[in-house]
Amino acid sequence: MENKPLIVDLVIPIYNEEEVLVSFHRNLSAAIEALPHSFRIYYINDGSQDGTQASLEQLAEADA
């Protein structure tokens, strides 16, 4: 049996999280970095009315 690396998808809904999104992402990334799996993080913008979308776009550019 072949041991394939485990890929974990994290789906995180967000709504008006402009003020905390960058620090949340930084803390989440630090927490999963030490784990022995690969992770994909999907942020789902649920119609935010603040600058959440712009923050998401900046995160996407900085951290593929």
CB-based burial of residue 37 (10 Å sphere; 0-12 exposed, 13-18 middle, 19+ buried)? Answer: exposed
Q: Is the pTM of this model over 0.75?
A: yes
CA geometry: angle 55, 12, 36, nearest 5 deg: 105
- In whole angstroms, what is the distance from residue 7 CA to residue 48 CA? 29
How confident is the model at residue 23, as a pLDDT?
96
The pLDDT of residue 4? 80
Beta carbons of 14 and 44 less than 8 angstroms apart: yes
Per-residue pLDDT of the chain (64 residues; tens, 9 = 90+): 577 889 999 999 999 999 999 999 999 999 999 899 999 999 999 999 999 999 999 999 998 7
Q: Which amino acid is at 23?
A: S
